[in-house]
Copies of this chain bind each other. A is one copy, B any other.
Amino acid sequence: MESTIKYINANKDKFLNELIELLKIPSVSADPAFKNDVLKTAEFIAEQLKKNGADNVEVCPTAGYPIVYGEKIIDENLPTVLVYGHYDVQPADPLELWDSPAFEPVIKKTEIHPEGAIFARGACDDKGQMYMHLKAFEAMMESNELPCNVKFMIEGEEEVGSENLGHFIKANKEKLAADVILVSDTGILANDVPSITTGLRGLSYVEVEVTGPNRDLHSGLYGGCVANPINILAEMIASLTDENNHITIPGFYDNVEELSAEERAEMAKAPFSEEDYKKALAIDAVHGEAGYSTPERGSIRPTLDVNGIWGGYTGEGAKTVIASKAFAKISMRLVPNQSPEEITEKFQKHFESIAPDSVKVLVKPHHGGEPAVTPIDSIGYQAASMAMETSFGIKPIPVRSGGSIPIVSMFEKVLGLKTVLMGFGLNSDAIHSPNEHYGLFNYYKGIETIPYFYKNFTELSK
């Protein structure tokens, strides 16, 4: 991979400028207002794949946003790596909390990134990490060192549940035939502590609506006489967890995978400072399920979080009103053996059952995702581990992540392929938050590591 690495080092500025152009397009898939930008982004990716030498590049239409496909088959007898990534991003709001506009990328040095980081929505999740794969591919093509076949599948609906990706892969099993799936949409523990994500939490996401009286009421004339949907919603939400922060939904923990003392001891070896953690978030205390450490609460245990709540008068000043309706978006992170269908159904049944007669409740399921685990004895994991050891000079640690990449379990079900989660982000990158950023070190390190994965995977497959 010598000349590949040479090419990468010679083209760092070019790679960065291309990413900056990509980040300028506000591809927010959750908000229809950005539809044209999301479509523009798909075209951008397709153009790059062609330029870099991919064949059969297509922008494949779906019921929602298109999936960009491209491939390079050099020899049917060699293994094939299927690269997955997404070109859509999270909404940027609250906009007022960004130090620089979300879609006007800027490079700034930070304590953790002395050589600079690029600040923009999607810088890390997932435009930056996805684009590393295109640039690694370009480098291997330009230096004639591509050691195996590669296929790219870059979608535009990951942040809204990848609803149409499932139909796409079911309908294109042959086209997508491969030996492993490689994804960079996760992180490492630190720039000097490389790690590979071996477990992901699943997701159940619902929206609830509580309706009291048929219209907004004067809180003086009606206060005390009718159920206030906001107060009721607050009581219902509060009742979903007990004093130990256990979730009270009947059967919620039925299928939860309980780790052995050994496994938990193994996990506890990963470096973690609760003091630094609290300082970074400016909190005086952590908060979570009794009996588990903070890293455990964030990875091997399921959760219930309200992601949004609204109702009544939220403008300036004081309005003495009893709202007719109150709403909340609630998501639950799931661990191995919990399924989103099972949990969503249990939530719905329970939430409806605890509503008092004085209100009506509506539970609307959003997207969900299965939890997933990657075995560390698989060829894919080994190839990634060796690649990182080469590029970082340190053997990476296998870790369970708290996030969800729902499509990982779908890939296994539909394509029968294991996914390797070789990501290069940091928890401090503020993905899904204002001032999201991605270290230049991490961007270039990713581009440099990927070719070694191809090489290792090809050799280990012999």
Binding site for B on A (CB under 8 A): 29-32, 90-91, 93-94, 97, 159-161, 201, 203, 205, 207, 212-228, 230-235, 237-239, 241, 277, 281-289, 294, 297-298, 301-323, 326-329, 331, 333, 356-359, 366-367, 401-404, 427, 430-435
Contacts and interface: CB of A to CB of B under 8 A. Distances in A.
B214 A281 contact: yes
Given A285-B357, A319-B432, A331 B219 contact: yes
Given A283-B213, A320-B203, A430-B215, A307 B312 contact: yes
Contacts of A234: 233-235, 237-238, 306, 309
Contact of A306 (B231, B298, B431, B432): B231
Given A218-B403, A316-B31, A318-B329, A287 B227 contact: yes
B401 A220 contact: yes
A403 B277 CA distance: 49
Given A91-B315, A225-B277, A306-B311, 16 more contacts: A30-B315, A31-B315, A215-B281, A215-B435, A225-B294, A226-B287, A228-B306, A230-B308, A231-B305, A234-B235, A238-B239, A284-B357, A309-B311, A310-B310, A314-B327, A317-B366
14 contacts: A30-B319, A32-B316, A203-B220, A213-B282, A213-B283, A215-B434, A218-B431, A221-B431, A223-B305, A224-B402, A285-B358, A305-B322, A307-B321, A309-B311
Given A220-B401, A220-B402, A306-B230, A161 B318 contact: yes
A234 B203 CA distance: 22
A243 to B, nearest CB: 10
Nearest to A317: B30
